[in-house]
């Protein structure tokens, strides 16, 4: 087992009278300053979560109403964003870990990307009039209205995701740099609570109008994000950092960076199990664009009912989240998360059976079943969520935190790139066996169930590896050594010509 790294310390118990607990790096907070920091970070997170909620809930149903195929929806909503993340996340994360400026190493990336994210979120509100104008003036009616509209939306999504990937890559590294370690777990719990509040607000106040007020919602979300996230970037200050670490063997340039990234992230079984587990979980995300069609066209629910159930369960989840976080602190996030996702897997057969039995049930009965299942699964889901909040911080090397998070995002994005298209193709295929094409969406729980099983399996194997590496008392993130092929490539690049 490798020796502990110098900065790998256990989060201290908070002592509000100890001035050392208000320091991180060169930053030294007062109580008022720490409160202000938390306020601006949480306000930025509220705007961020609200923006992230708008896109996947509004655009897919709108595309369905326009007549887009499931394959096209998967391409626009999953594959294209995942390709952008796949290309951008590792580069931005690696560079931001090593970036130094008077504004810090995270804020400059966020401040540059935020206006462009807001701009293209607003432009999506005008996709239809823009496509009609281009169709009339540029193509002179050569192509169909739908084809031109989908091309316009794809183009906007590409540019939107280009800048949004920068923010998604960097944002959650920021609080690890500016929040004192004594308060880090508490702030993380508040982050998740704020995210739930943003979801509740959206489900209760905005989602019921998601059919009739699509342009207005896109415009409002874009403006709120610009103002809210911009204020956070202006008010949160980073400290000074030590000189950035050298690449493997002090090899400069792109080759040295790639070899360093490969050695540190992809050469140990422990990390591969983590990446594989989250890749399986990502394969359940790809069905997200079809969740609203599943609930409205298969289950027969209206958007008001869906929004109210989401708001109520979100509110109860907020109450349960902090106790679940305490449970994760007490027994370790990996244990609590594994228990939560295994418990959720138990209900997967019920979800599948319910989807196929729905035509034989009255609407009232189906709604009561949905409410009952949501109530039973809620505490299990909260346990998994609370464990996930702190898991990465507890099992990844702290001195390369952004880098390892980006490696996980890289593998996850590969899964999303494949899964986004595969899920759409799968649903289009099963559509051919149904007299009513909309009934293809009842296979969404089947798709999710397969990958939920893989998710639990890989996390169980990760748990066994974690125990082998020391477990609760003695675990230290393993230091991986590069395989012979990587060493040979590095030696070849290092040898002078």
For residue 9 the two structure tokens come to 């310390």
363: CATH: 1.20.1250
In whole angstroms, what separates CA 308 from the centre of its chain?
24
- 379: pLDDT confidence band, cut at 50, 70 and 90? confident
- What is the mean pLDDT of the segment spanning 48-73? 78
Q: Are residues 109 and 193 in the same domain?
A: yes
Asked, for residue 455, whether it belongs to a domain, the answer is yes
Q: Which ranges in 67-144 belong to alpha helices (H)?
A: 70-74, 80-98, 107-123, 127-137
Residue pair 82/420 in contact by the 8 Å Cβ criterion: yes
**Domain-ending residue, one of 244, 259, 283:** 244
Q: Tens digits of per-residue pLDDT, 180-227? A: 766 766 677 777 788 778 877 887 788 777 777 878 888 888 898 898
Position 344 in a domain: yes
- For the whole model, what pTM was predicted? 0.69
What's the pLDDT tens digit per position in 341-359? 999 899 989 888 988 888 8
Asked whether residue 408 falls in the same domain as residue 339, the answer is: yes
Going by the DSSP 8-state scheme, the letter that residue 330 receives in this structure is H
Token pair belonging to 59: 């655009």
Predicted confidence (pLDDT) at residue 3 exceeds the cutoff of 60: no
At 329 the pLDDT is 67
Average pLDDT estimate for 50-54:
81
Percentage, residues of the chain above pLDDT 90: 12
Counting the structural domains of the chain, the total is: 2
Residue 75 counted as domain residue: yes
State the chain's mean pLDDT as an integer: 80
Domain presence at residue 41? yes
The two three-digit tokens of residue 348, written as one number: 């997967």
In a domain? residue 256: no
Same domain, 59 and 140: yes
Residues 196 and 345 in one domain: no
259 part of a folded domain: no
Report how far residue 156's alpha carbon sits from residue 120's, in angstroms, rounded to the nearest whole number: 6
pLDDT at 462: 95
Q: Is residue 16 a part of any domain in this protein?
A: no
Q: Are residues 302 and 230 in the same domain?
A: no
Query: Any idea what the CATH number is for the domain that residue 78 is in?
Result: 1.20.1250.20
> Please, what sign has the CA dihedral across residues 483, 89, 153, 65?
positive
159-186 residue pLDDT tens: 888 888 888 888 888 877 887 766 766 6
pLDDT above 80 for 108:
yes
Evaluate whether 392 touches 405 at the Cβ level (below 8 Å).
Answer: yes
pLDDT tens for residues 283-307? Answer: 998 888 788 888 888 888 888 888 7
Please indicate, yes or no, whether residues 380 and 421 belong to a single structural domain of this protein: yes
Residue 67 pLDDT > 80, yes or no?
no
By mean pLDDT, which of 298-307, 363-372, 397-406 is the weakest? 397-406
Residue 276 and residue 214 share a domain:
no
Note whether 148 and 281 are same-domain residues. Answer: no
Pair 60, 73: CB distance under 8 Å: yes
Q: Are residues 227 and 288 in the same domain?
A: no
Residue 208 lies in a domain: yes
Q: How far apart, in whole angstroms, are the C-alpha atoms of residue 464 and residue 11?
A: 24
Please determine, for residue 13, whether its predicted confidence score (pLDDT) is greater than 70: no
- Same-domain pairing of 171 and 75: yes
**List of residues 6+ apart from 180 with CB closer than 8 A:** 21, 22, 23, 24, 27, 29, 34
Q: Identify whether residues 30 and 81 lie together within a single domain.
A: yes
What does the pLDDT average to over 58-63?
78
Across residues 437-453, what is the average pLDDT? Answer: 86
Give me the domain span that covers residue 117.
Answer: 25-244
Residue 467 confidence (pLDDT): 92
The SS3 assignment for 172 reads helix
Residue-wise pLDDT for 449-471, tens only, equals: 999 999 999 999 999 999 998 88
pLDDT surpassing 60 at residue 490: no
**Mutual angle of helices 303-331 and 184-201, in 10-degree steps:** 170
Supply the pLDDT for residue 115. 92
Confidence of residue 38 (pLDDT cuts 50, 70, 90): confident
Report the pLDDT value the prediction gives residue 11, as an integer from 0 to 100. Answer: 39
Nearest to 107 by CA among 3, 20, 229, 12: 229
pLDDT(270) > 90 = yes
What is the pLDDT at residue 17? 63
Listed range (82-86, 180-184, 214-218, 397-401) with the worst mean pLDDT: 180-184
Q: Look at residue 452 in the predicted model and tell me its pLDDT.
A: 93
Indicate if 181 and 73 belong to the same structural domain: yes
Say what the pLDDT of residue 141 is: 66
Tokens of residue 20, six digits = 């050392």
Q: Which range is least confidently modeled, 8-17, 63-72, 120-129, 289-298?
A: 8-17
Q: Does the pLDDT of residue 486 top 50, yes or no?
A: no
pLDDT of res. 485: 45
């Amino acid at each position: 087992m490798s020796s502990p790294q110098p900065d790998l310390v256990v989060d201290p118990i908070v002592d509000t009278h100890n001035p050392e607990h208000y320091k991180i790096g060169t930053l030294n907070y007062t109580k008022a300053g720490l409160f202000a920091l938390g306020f601006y970070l949480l306000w930025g997170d509220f705007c961020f979560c609200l923006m992230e909620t708008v896109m996947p809930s509004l655009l897919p149903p709108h595309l369905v109403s326009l007549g887009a195929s499931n394959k096209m929806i998967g391409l626009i909503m999953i594959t294209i964003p995942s390709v952008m993340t796949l290309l951008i996340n590792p580069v931005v994360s690696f560079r931001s870990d090593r970036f130094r400026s008077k504004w810090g190493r995270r804020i400059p990336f966020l401040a540059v990307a935020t206006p462009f994210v807001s701009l293209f979120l607003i432009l999506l509100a005008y996709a239809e009039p823009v496509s009609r104008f281009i169709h009339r003036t540029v193509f002179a009616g050569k192509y169909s209205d739908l084809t031109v509209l989908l091309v316009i939306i794809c183009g906007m999504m590409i540019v939107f995701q280009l800048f949004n990937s920068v923010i998604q890559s960097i944002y959650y590294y920021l609080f690890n740099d500016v929040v004192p370690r004594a308060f880090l777990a508490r702030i993380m719990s508040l982050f998740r609570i704020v995210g739930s509040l943003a979801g509740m607000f959206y489900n209760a106040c905005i989602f019921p109008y998601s059919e009739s007020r699509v342009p207005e919602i896109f415009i409002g979300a874009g403006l709120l994000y610009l103002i809210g996230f911009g204020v956070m970037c202006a008010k949160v200050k980073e400290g000074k950092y030590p000189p950035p670490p050298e690449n493997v063997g002090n090899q400069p340039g792109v080759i040295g960076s790639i070899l360093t990234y490969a050695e540190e992230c992809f050469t140990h079984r422990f990390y591969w199990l983590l990446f594989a587990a989250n890749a399986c979980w990502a394969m359940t995300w790809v069905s997200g664009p079809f969740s609203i069609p599943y609930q409205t066209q298969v289950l027969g629910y209206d958007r008001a009912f869906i929004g109210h159930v989401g708001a109520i369960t979100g509110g109860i989840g907020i109450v349960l989240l902090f106790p679940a976080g305490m449970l994760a602190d007490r027994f370790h996030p990996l244990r609590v998360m594994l228990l939560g996702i295994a418990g959720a897997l138990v209900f997967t057969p019920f979800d599948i059976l319910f989807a196929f039995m729905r035509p034989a049930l009255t609407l009232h009965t189906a709604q009561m079943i949905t409410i009952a299942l949501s109530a039973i699964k809620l505490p299990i889901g909260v346990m998994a969520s609370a464990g996930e909040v702190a898991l990465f911080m507890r099992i990844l090397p702290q001195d390369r935190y952004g880098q390892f998070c980006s490696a996980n995002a890289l593998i996850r994005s590969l899964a999303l790139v494949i899964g986004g298209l595969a899920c759409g193709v799968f649903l289009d295929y099963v559509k051919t066996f149904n007299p009513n094409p909309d009934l293809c969406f009842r296979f969404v729980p089947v798709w999710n169930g397969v990958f939920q099983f893989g998710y639990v399996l890989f996390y169980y194997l990760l748990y066994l590896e974690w125990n082998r590496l020391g477990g609760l008392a003695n675990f230290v993130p393993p230091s991986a050594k590069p395989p012979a092929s990587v060493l040979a490539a590095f030696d070849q690049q290092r040898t002078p010509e």
